[in-house]
Amino acid sequence: MPYLLQVDFPYPGPWGAAMTTAMADLARSIATEPGLIWKIWTANEDTGEAGGIYLFDSQATAQAYLEMHRARLASFGIAQINAKIFAVDQTLSLLDRAPL
């Protein structure tokens, strides 16, 4: 069963194309994380928040990534991290065209 990880945190920028350039190496690194199926990057310049929605192949891989990600964000000086892990109902999600 896949598990969804939702993460957001205060983020001062950069935004838009500058964010894409600045985060490209990090995105490549995230793509190699064990159990990761996909990630959607999120950003809201108006509220100064960024984060992501991740799909992992198990609760264990989602939890392991979250623990590593919290430590990485803390090393960047980001202490306030909101995160939740959810089990995915595949049957209902597929009815609504989820990319599972």
| Residue matched to tokens 């990761």 | 36
Provide Rg for the chain, Cα atoms. 14
In a domain, 42, yes or no: yes
In a domain, 10, yes or no: yes
pLDDT of residue 100: 83
Across 36-49, b (16+ Cβ under 10 Å) vs e yields beebeeebeeeeee
pLDDT digits (tens, 9 = 90+) for 57-88: 999 999 999 999 999 999 999 989 999 999 99
In a domain, 90, yes or no: yes
Q: Please count the structural domains in the chain.
A: 1
In a domain, 52, yes or no: no
CATH of the domain at 10: 3.30.70.100
List the helix and strand counts (H, then E) for the chain.
Answer: 3, 4
Full domain range(s) for residue 7: 3-47+57-95
In a domain, 19, yes or no: yes
In a domain, 100, yes or no: no
